[in-house]
Chains A and B, each alone.
Chain A
Amino acid sequence: MSGTDQLSAVFSALADPTRRAILAELADRDATVTELTAPLPISMPAVSRHLKVLERAALISRSRSGKWRASRLEAAPLREAADWIERYRRFWDSSLTRLDAHLATVRAAGRATGRTAHDPTVPDSTVPDKVDDKERSWTPKPRRSSSRV
Protein backbone atom coordinates (compact mmCIF):
# COMPACT_ATOMS: atom_id res chain seq x y z
CA MET A 1 0.00 0.00 0.00
CA SER A 2 1.15 3.55 -0.65
CA GLY A 3 1.48 5.95 2.26
CA THR A 4 -1.90 7.55 1.77
CA ASP A 5 -3.70 4.24 1.22
CA GLN A 6 -2.10 3.05 4.41
CA LEU A 7 -3.31 6.11 6.24
CA SER A 8 -6.85 5.71 4.94
CA ALA A 9 -6.82 2.12 6.12
CA VAL A 10 -5.64 3.27 9.55
CA PHE A 11 -8.33 5.89 9.88
CA SER A 12 -11.14 3.69 8.69
CA ALA A 13 -9.93 0.91 11.02
CA LEU A 14 -9.99 3.36 13.91
CA ALA A 15 -13.43 4.70 13.08
CA ASP A 16 -15.06 1.64 14.66
CA PRO A 17 -15.57 1.64 18.45
CA THR A 18 -15.20 -2.13 18.76
CA ARG A 19 -11.84 -2.02 17.04
CA ARG A 20 -10.76 0.78 19.34
CA ALA A 21 -11.78 -1.35 22.30
CA ILE A 22 -9.70 -4.22 20.93
CA LEU A 23 -6.70 -1.95 20.52
CA ALA A 24 -7.11 -0.66 24.06
CA GLU A 25 -7.12 -4.26 25.27
CA LEU A 26 -3.98 -5.03 23.28
CA ALA A 27 -2.29 -1.99 24.76
CA ASP A 28 -2.06 -3.95 28.04
CA ARG A 29 -0.85 -7.25 26.61
CA ASP A 30 -0.87 -9.52 23.58
CA ALA A 31 -4.05 -11.57 23.42
CA THR A 32 -5.75 -14.37 21.49
CA VAL A 33 -9.13 -14.11 19.81
CA THR A 34 -10.68 -16.00 22.72
CA GLU A 35 -9.24 -13.58 25.24
CA LEU A 36 -10.29 -10.58 23.20
CA THR A 37 -13.84 -11.87 22.77
CA ALA A 38 -14.44 -12.41 26.48
CA PRO A 39 -15.14 -8.79 27.51
CA LEU A 40 -16.99 -7.92 24.28
CA PRO A 41 -20.69 -8.38 23.51
CA ILE A 42 -19.95 -9.92 20.09
CA SER A 43 -19.06 -13.35 18.71
CA MET A 44 -15.60 -14.73 18.13
CA PRO A 45 -15.97 -14.69 14.32
CA ALA A 46 -16.95 -11.02 14.56
CA VAL A 47 -13.83 -10.30 16.61
CA SER A 48 -11.79 -12.19 14.01
CA ARG A 49 -13.15 -9.99 11.27
CA HIS A 50 -12.21 -6.87 13.24
CA LEU A 51 -8.71 -8.27 13.75
CA LYS A 52 -8.32 -8.73 10.00
CA VAL A 53 -9.18 -5.07 9.44
CA LEU A 54 -6.70 -3.99 12.11
CA GLU A 55 -4.02 -6.22 10.62
CA ARG A 56 -4.55 -4.80 7.13
CA ALA A 57 -4.10 -1.32 8.59
CA ALA A 58 -0.87 -2.54 10.22
CA LEU A 59 -2.20 -1.54 13.62
CA ILE A 60 -1.65 -5.06 14.91
CA SER A 61 0.41 -8.07 13.94
CA ARG A 62 -0.51 -11.70 14.55
CA SER A 63 1.91 -14.47 15.35
CA ARG A 64 1.93 -17.20 12.73
CA SER A 65 3.10 -20.01 14.95
CA GLY A 66 1.31 -22.32 17.32
CA LYS A 67 -2.22 -23.03 18.21
CA TRP A 68 -2.80 -19.74 20.03
CA ARG A 69 -2.50 -17.04 17.49
CA ALA A 70 -1.86 -13.95 19.60
CA SER A 71 -2.48 -10.43 18.37
CA ARG A 72 0.02 -7.71 19.19
CA LEU A 73 -0.45 -3.96 19.08
CA GLU A 74 1.98 -2.28 16.70
CA ALA A 75 3.01 1.07 18.11
CA ALA A 76 2.66 3.04 14.96
CA PRO A 77 2.23 6.14 12.93
CA LEU A 78 -0.43 8.04 14.64
CA ARG A 79 0.98 10.51 17.07
CA GLU A 80 2.13 13.06 14.55
CA ALA A 81 -1.04 12.62 12.57
CA ALA A 82 -3.19 13.10 15.64
CA ASP A 83 -1.24 16.20 16.68
CA TRP A 84 -1.58 17.68 13.23
CA ILE A 85 -5.32 17.08 13.13
CA GLU A 86 -5.73 18.51 16.59
CA ARG A 87 -3.75 21.61 15.67
CA TYR A 88 -5.78 22.26 12.55
CA ARG A 89 -9.10 21.72 14.24
CA ARG A 90 -8.12 24.34 16.80
CA PHE A 91 -6.90 26.57 14.00
CA TRP A 92 -10.19 26.42 12.13
CA ASP A 93 -12.18 26.85 15.28
CA SER A 94 -10.46 30.08 16.29
CA SER A 95 -10.31 31.39 12.72
CA LEU A 96 -14.01 30.86 12.17
CA THR A 97 -14.81 32.54 15.46
CA ARG A 98 -12.86 35.56 14.25
CA LEU A 99 -14.62 35.34 10.90
CA ASP A 100 -17.96 35.45 12.68
CA ALA A 101 -16.96 38.63 14.47
CA HIS A 102 -15.56 40.13 11.28
CA LEU A 103 -18.76 39.46 9.35
CA ALA A 104 -20.80 41.06 12.11
CA THR A 105 -18.61 44.16 11.95
CA VAL A 106 -18.86 44.38 8.18
CA ARG A 107 -22.62 43.99 8.19
CA ALA A 108 -23.05 46.56 10.95
CA ALA A 109 -20.93 48.98 8.91
CA GLY A 110 -23.08 48.21 5.87
CA ARG A 111 -26.26 49.00 7.79
CA ALA A 112 -24.76 52.17 9.23
CA THR A 113 -24.11 53.51 5.73
CA GLY A 114 -27.62 52.63 4.64
CA ARG A 115 -26.72 49.68 2.49
CA THR A 116 -29.15 46.83 2.70
CA ALA A 117 -27.70 44.37 0.24
CA HIS A 118 -26.44 42.13 3.00
CA ASP A 119 -29.38 42.37 5.29
CA PRO A 120 -30.50 38.84 6.13
CA THR A 121 -34.11 39.72 5.35
CA VAL A 122 -33.26 40.61 1.77
CA PRO A 123 -33.34 37.68 -0.68
CA ASP A 124 -29.96 36.48 -1.84
CA SER A 125 -30.67 37.46 -5.44
CA THR A 126 -30.22 41.09 -4.51
CA VAL A 127 -26.66 40.45 -3.44
CA PRO A 128 -24.34 41.47 -6.27
CA ASP A 129 -22.39 38.68 -7.89
CA LYS A 130 -19.17 40.57 -8.18
CA VAL A 131 -17.13 42.71 -5.87
CA ASP A 132 -17.28 46.25 -7.21
CA ASP A 133 -15.82 49.47 -5.92
CA LYS A 134 -18.95 50.43 -4.08
CA GLU A 135 -18.83 47.16 -2.20
CA ARG A 136 -15.28 47.77 -1.23
CA SER A 137 -16.02 51.20 0.07
CA TRP A 138 -17.45 49.89 3.30
CA THR A 139 -14.88 47.17 3.79
CA PRO A 140 -13.17 47.99 7.07
CA LYS A 141 -9.49 48.71 6.81
CA PRO A 142 -7.43 45.80 8.05
CA ARG A 143 -5.99 46.53 11.43
CA ARG A 144 -2.27 46.37 11.81
CA SER A 145 -0.54 43.78 13.87
CA SER A 146 -0.36 45.37 17.28
CA SER A 147 -4.02 46.30 17.47
CA ARG A 148 -5.26 42.87 16.62
CA VAL A 149 -4.28 41.10 19.83
Chain B
Amino acid sequence: MDTETPQIVISRVMEAPRELVYRAFTDPDHFAAWWGPIGNSLPRDEIEFDVRPGGYQRWTEVFPAHPALRVHIYVDLTDVAHGELLDGVMHVTGRLQDGIEPFETRFRVEFHDEADGRTRLEIRQWLPEHLAAPSEQGWLEAFTKLDVTLTSAHAAAVDVEA
Protein backbone atom coordinates (compact mmCIF):
# COMPACT_ATOMS: atom_id res chain seq x y z
CA MET B 1 0.00 0.00 0.00
CA ASP B 2 2.87 2.39 0.79
CA THR B 3 3.80 2.99 -2.81
CA GLU B 4 0.28 3.80 -3.90
CA THR B 5 -0.86 7.32 -4.43
CA PRO B 6 -3.23 8.49 -1.70
CA GLN B 7 -6.62 9.65 -2.96
CA ILE B 8 -6.83 12.42 -0.40
CA VAL B 9 -3.97 14.87 0.07
CA ILE B 10 -4.41 17.83 2.41
CA SER B 11 -1.86 20.38 3.46
CA ARG B 12 -2.82 22.94 6.07
CA VAL B 13 -0.92 25.33 8.31
CA MET B 14 -2.10 25.65 11.91
CA GLU B 15 -1.41 28.68 14.10
CA ALA B 16 0.27 26.72 16.85
CA PRO B 17 3.61 25.04 17.52
CA ARG B 18 4.14 21.48 16.39
CA GLU B 19 4.20 19.96 19.86
CA LEU B 20 0.79 21.39 20.66
CA VAL B 21 -0.76 20.34 17.36
CA TYR B 22 0.62 16.83 17.84
CA ARG B 23 -0.90 16.76 21.30
CA ALA B 24 -4.27 17.78 19.87
CA PHE B 25 -4.17 14.52 17.91
CA THR B 26 -2.85 12.28 20.65
CA ASP B 27 -4.28 13.53 23.98
CA PRO B 28 -7.88 12.33 24.51
CA ASP B 29 -9.03 15.57 26.17
CA HIS B 30 -7.72 17.65 23.31
CA PHE B 31 -8.91 15.24 20.68
CA ALA B 32 -12.50 15.15 21.94
CA ALA B 33 -12.67 18.91 21.67
CA TRP B 34 -12.20 19.11 17.93
CA TRP B 35 -12.39 15.80 16.06
CA GLY B 36 -15.19 15.53 13.53
CA PRO B 37 -17.64 17.99 12.08
CA ILE B 38 -19.88 20.12 14.26
CA GLY B 39 -22.74 17.98 15.51
CA ASN B 40 -20.75 14.95 16.53
CA SER B 41 -19.47 14.21 19.98
CA LEU B 42 -16.95 11.83 21.50
CA PRO B 43 -17.95 10.35 24.88
CA ARG B 44 -14.84 10.86 26.98
CA ASP B 45 -15.04 7.49 28.73
CA GLU B 46 -14.94 5.70 25.38
CA ILE B 47 -11.70 7.25 24.23
CA GLU B 48 -8.68 4.98 24.67
CA PHE B 49 -5.33 6.02 23.31
CA ASP B 50 -2.06 4.14 23.45
CA VAL B 51 0.04 6.19 21.09
CA ARG B 52 3.22 4.38 20.06
CA PRO B 53 4.28 2.24 17.12
CA GLY B 54 2.02 -0.80 17.27
CA GLY B 55 -0.38 1.03 19.59
CA TYR B 56 -3.91 2.23 19.00
CA GLN B 57 -6.44 5.06 19.21
CA ARG B 58 -10.04 4.07 19.84
CA TRP B 59 -13.13 6.17 20.27
CA THR B 60 -16.85 6.35 19.65
CA GLU B 61 -18.67 9.07 17.76
CA VAL B 62 -22.26 9.93 18.57
CA PHE B 63 -24.51 12.48 16.91
CA PRO B 64 -27.11 14.12 19.16
CA ALA B 65 -29.24 15.01 16.13
CA HIS B 66 -29.09 11.39 14.87
CA PRO B 67 -29.39 9.16 17.93
CA ALA B 68 -29.51 6.01 15.81
CA LEU B 69 -25.90 6.49 14.75
CA ARG B 70 -23.05 5.23 16.86
CA VAL B 71 -19.71 4.94 15.12
CA HIS B 72 -16.75 3.03 16.52
CA ILE B 73 -13.33 4.01 15.28
CA TYR B 74 -10.38 1.71 15.95
CA VAL B 75 -7.07 2.99 14.68
CA ASP B 76 -4.15 0.59 14.54
CA LEU B 77 -1.03 2.74 14.64
CA THR B 78 1.65 1.21 12.48
CA ASP B 79 4.14 4.06 12.64
CA VAL B 80 4.48 6.82 15.24
CA ALA B 81 7.22 9.39 15.74
CA HIS B 82 6.55 11.65 18.71
CA GLY B 83 5.67 15.14 17.54
CA GLU B 84 6.17 14.23 13.90
CA LEU B 85 4.11 11.38 12.55
CA LEU B 86 1.00 9.26 12.95
CA ASP B 87 0.46 6.52 10.41
CA GLY B 88 -2.04 3.73 10.63
CA VAL B 89 -5.20 2.04 9.53
CA MET B 90 -8.56 3.31 10.70
CA HIS B 91 -11.32 0.71 11.11
CA VAL B 92 -14.80 2.19 11.04
CA THR B 93 -17.65 0.04 12.40
CA GLY B 94 -20.82 0.39 14.46
CA ARG B 95 -24.18 1.85 13.49
CA LEU B 96 -23.26 3.88 10.45
CA GLN B 97 -25.19 6.16 8.17
CA ASP B 98 -27.55 4.44 5.74
CA GLY B 99 -25.72 3.14 2.74
CA ILE B 100 -22.32 3.07 4.41
CA GLU B 101 -20.78 -0.28 5.17
CA PRO B 102 -17.99 -0.75 7.71
CA PHE B 103 -14.68 0.00 6.09
CA GLU B 104 -11.01 0.54 6.77
CA THR B 105 -8.81 3.29 5.44
CA ARG B 106 -5.11 3.96 5.72
CA PHE B 107 -4.10 7.46 6.77
CA ARG B 108 -0.92 9.35 7.52
CA VAL B 109 -0.55 12.66 9.38
CA GLU B 110 2.78 14.46 9.35
CA PHE B 111 3.58 17.46 11.54
CA HIS B 112 6.12 19.92 10.13
CA ASP B 113 7.57 23.13 11.61
CA GLU B 114 6.68 26.31 9.80
CA ALA B 115 8.00 29.83 10.34
CA ASP B 116 6.74 31.87 13.31
CA GLY B 117 5.92 28.88 15.48
CA ARG B 118 3.30 27.50 13.19
CA THR B 119 2.79 23.91 12.08
CA ARG B 120 2.05 22.46 8.68
CA LEU B 121 -0.11 19.36 8.70
CA GLU B 122 0.29 16.98 5.81
CA ILE B 123 -2.62 14.56 5.72
CA ARG B 124 -2.86 11.59 3.39
CA GLN B 125 -5.69 9.13 3.15
CA TRP B 126 -6.25 6.08 1.01
CA LEU B 127 -9.54 4.82 -0.37
CA PRO B 128 -10.90 1.62 1.18
CA GLU B 129 -10.15 -1.36 -1.01
CA HIS B 130 -13.76 -2.47 -1.34
CA LEU B 131 -14.48 0.72 -3.29
CA ALA B 132 -12.25 -0.60 -6.03
CA ALA B 133 -15.08 -2.95 -6.97
CA PRO B 134 -17.01 -1.78 -10.01
CA SER B 135 -20.55 -0.49 -9.68
CA GLU B 136 -22.90 0.17 -12.53
CA GLN B 137 -24.59 3.52 -12.11
CA GLY B 138 -23.77 7.14 -11.79
CA TRP B 139 -20.44 7.23 -13.51
CA LEU B 140 -20.94 10.58 -15.14
CA GLU B 141 -22.11 12.32 -11.98
CA ALA B 142 -19.02 10.99 -10.30
CA PHE B 143 -16.94 12.22 -13.14
CA THR B 144 -17.82 15.84 -12.49
CA LYS B 145 -16.99 15.50 -8.81
CA LEU B 146 -13.78 13.68 -9.52
CA ASP B 147 -12.63 16.36 -11.83
CA VAL B 148 -12.83 18.81 -8.97
CA THR B 149 -11.35 16.39 -6.45
CA LEU B 150 -8.42 15.43 -8.63
CA THR B 151 -7.68 18.99 -9.53
CA SER B 152 -7.53 20.06 -5.91
CA ALA B 153 -5.61 16.93 -4.91
CA HIS B 154 -3.12 17.70 -7.61
CA ALA B 155 -2.84 21.33 -6.54
CA ALA B 156 -2.17 20.21 -2.99
CA ALA B 157 0.46 17.77 -4.19
CA VAL B 158 2.16 20.50 -6.18
CA ASP B 159 2.15 22.76 -3.13
CA VAL B 160 3.84 20.06 -1.15
CA GLU B 161 6.53 19.53 -3.73
CA ALA B 162 7.19 23.25 -4.11
> Which residue of A11, A91, A120, A142 is within 8 Å of B17 (Cβ)?
A120
With a cutoff of 8 Å between Cβ atoms, the chain A residues found around residue B140 in the complex are: 27
A149 and B125 CA atoms in complex are apart in Å by 27
A80 and B129 CA atoms in complex are apart in Å by 11
> Which residue of A75, A89, A124 is within 8 Å of B19 (Cβ)?
A124
Interface centre among A14, A23, A82, A88 (most CB of B within 10 A): A82
With a cutoff of 8 Å between Cβ atoms, the chain A residues found around residue B118 in the complex are: 120
With a cutoff of 8 Å between Cβ atoms, the chain B residues found around residue A140 in the complex are: 29, 33
A128 and B19: CB pair below 8 A?
yes
Given A11-B150, A85-B127, A99-B24, A79-B141 contact (CB < 8 Å) = yes
**Number of residues from B at the complex interface, CB < 8 A:** 69
With a cutoff of 8 Å between Cβ atoms, the chain A residues found around residue B21 in the complex are: 99, 103
B131 and A118: CB pair below 8 A?
no
A14 and B146: CB pair below 8 A?
yes
Given A118-B16, A129-B83, A86-B149 contact (CB < 8 Å) = yes
> Which residue of B65, B117, B136 is within 8 Å of A124 (Cβ)?
B117
With a cutoff of 8 Å between Cβ atoms, the chain B residues found around residue A90 in the complex are: 37
- Within A69-94, the residues touching B (CB, 8 Å) are 73, 75-86, 88-92, 94
A6 interface contact, C-beta 8 A: yes
A102 and B24: CB pair below 8 A?
yes
With a cutoff of 8 Å between Cβ atoms, the chain B residues found around residue A98 in the complex are: 33-38
A101 interface contact, C-beta 8 A: yes
B30 interface contact, C-beta 8 A: yes
How distant is B85 from chain A, measured CB to nearest CB, in Å? 15
With a cutoff of 8 Å between Cβ atoms, the chain B residues found around residue A88 in the complex are: 8, 105, 125
A76 and B43 CA atoms in complex are apart in Å by 40
With a cutoff of 8 Å between Cβ atoms, the chain B residues found around residue A113 in the complex are: none
A106 and B137: CB pair below 8 A?
no
B12 interface contact, C-beta 8 A: yes
A120 and B8 CA atoms in complex are apart in Å by 29
Main secondary structure of the interface of A (DSSP, over half): helix
Question: Per-position contact with A for B85-120: 1 when CB-CB < 8 Å, else 0?
Answer: 000000000000000000001000000010011100
With a cutoff of 8 Å between Cβ atoms, the chain B residues found around residue A53 in the complex are: none
List residues of B whose CB falls within 8 A of some A CB.
Answer: 1, 4-5, 7-8, 10, 12, 14-21, 23-24, 27, 29-30, 32-39, 41-44, 62, 64-65, 82-83, 105, 113, 116-118, 121, 123, 125, 127-143, 145-147, 149-150, 152, 154
How distant is A60 from chain B, measured CB to nearest CB, in Å? 12
Given A4-B4, A107-B20, A129-B82, A102-B33 contact (CB < 8 Å) = yes
With a cutoff of 8 Å between Cβ atoms, the chain A residues found around residue B154 in the complex are: 15
Given A91-B37, A95-B34, A127-B17 contact (CB < 8 Å) = yes
A146 and B43 CA atoms in complex are apart in Å by 11
How distant is B6 from chain A, measured CB to nearest CB, in Å? 10
Query: Which 6 pairs show the lowest CB-CB distances between chains A and B?
Result: A120-B117, A3-B132, A145-B41, A79-B138, A82-B142, A94-B37
